[in-house]
A = this chain, B = another copy of it.
Amino acid sequence: MVDARKSSWLTLQMRTSEVFHLLRDGQPWTRAQLCEASGLARSTVTSRLDVLVKLGVVAPYGDGTSTGGRPPSLYALNPSARVVGAVALGATHAVAAVTDLAGTILGQTRERLDVAQGPATVLSWVAETVERLLLEADRAPADLAAVGLGVPGPVEHSTGRPTNPPIMPGWDRYDVPGTLGERLGVPVLVDNDVNIMALGERSTYLPEVDDLIFVKVATGIGAGIISGGSLQRGAHGTAGDLGHVRVTSGSGVICRCGNEGCLEAIAGGPAIAARLRDAGVPAETTGDVVELVRGGNLEAVREVRQAGRELGEVVATMANLINPSVVVIGGLLGGAGEHLMAGLREVVYQRSMPLATEHLSIVASVAGDRAGILGASAMAAEHVLSPEAIESAAANLTVSAAP
């Protein structure tokens, strides 16, 4: 009951955000439209617009520079008012960026960084890199409004703490938002890397799609699930773990997780590389496999196409169970041309129920290796532009303006 009362209280206190909520669509609005849509009096809308313009998140639009002394007639969201840090940590690499509130990348960097060095080292790098990128983008430290961070493991999203992440020693239950937030002085949002890739693909390229699954195919295989317009993290943040689903051809293949026949042990990059070596083709890493496919090596093409079929079996299951309208294939192997997609489509359209695939699109990621930072940016911007954050900023403005 406490939570319900608290959230009701928040809902009811959101007076400034009632107007801001309308402007979040990014379109220019006239004052009259805002009055009509909000049901608020013109004087109320005017005073709320004043607050939002002072906060910088809304600005006069188009003919706002009218010379006749009349107030500007159009207002719109001002995405460049603030910036966010957007960081995607992988097992051995990290990508960091600063973006505006609409996800426009103002600067980015990609570096080798081993997540197994532990949170102290890695989060120091994150903080320093965001500060450096801010400087290079000519933005003041005060312009930073939040940081979004993706990590390669399950996360309890409400607290931002990783939970039993298998490849992140030292990070279990670590207070990532607390540590990084104290260092940078802004809210920090944390989620699993594939979840933020799903967010990034959707926010940038598929904003109209409410039921989307983003599948990352690389050394590991995982998925971010958006259903009914919301990211579905599951009860303990591990939803989308398709790498350890058993596939029918998997008998006798033991996975690093200890189980038999897991998809990842058959269709992940290292498994493909191992089969290529058995066939006399030198390949060690997922990157090697991608290079071979791009170079037209027939054995590699054949193996990747077969991996697509194995993946297709699990994606067909996901289509039946979750009924998405779009499945996006990303990750290093997902970007290796049409061979993986061809094998995948072959099996999905054969295996899924007609009702589940009648309107199902299977597409390659457009965001590619920017999916992670675009999603981290979207997650951070969503927080900055949330009604709660706007109300809180408006309240601070009022307090600091008081005599």
Contacts and interface: CB of A to CB of B under 8 A. Distances in A.
B228 A232 contact: yes
A163 B323 CA distance: 14
Protomer copies: 2
Nearest to A320: B241
Nearest to A223: B321
Contacts of A246: 248, 313, 316-317, 351
A45 B228 CA distance: 34
Interface in A213-256: 223, 225, 227-228, 230, 232-242, 244-246, 248, 250-251
B9 A325 contact: no
Contacts of A313: 246
A349 to B, nearest CB: 12
A4 B242 CA distance: 34
A38 B8 contact: yes
Contacts of A369: none
B37 A9 contact: yes
Given A9-B39, A234-B227, A353-B244, A321 B25 contact: no
Interface in A10-52: 11-13, 18, 21-22, 25, 27, 37-40
Nearest to A9: B37
A210 interface: yes
Given A234-B322, A323-B234, A25 B4 contact: yes
Contacts of A318: 321
A25 B211 CA distance: 31
Nearest to A317: B245
A356 interface: yes
A227 B238 contact: no
A5 interface: yes
A164 interface: yes
A282 B49 CA distance: 77
Contacts of A9: 37-39
Nearest to A250: B248
Contacts of A210: 235
B236 A227 contact: no
A33 to B, nearest CB: 8
A21 B233 CA distance: 27
Contacts of A223: 321
A324 interface: yes
24 contacts: A9-B39, A11-B21, A154-B355, A164-B355, A223-B321, A227-B239, A232-B232, A235-B323, A235-B325, A236-B356, A238-B323, A241-B353, A242-B320, A244-B352, A246-B248, A246-B313, A246-B317, A246-B351, A248-B248, A248-B261, A257-B353, A259-B350, A259-B351, A317-B321
Given A211-B235, A235-B324, A246-B351, 11 more contacts: A11-B21, A12-B39, A223-B321, A227-B239, A232-B232, A238-B323, A240-B321, A241-B353, A246-B313, A257-B353, A317-B321
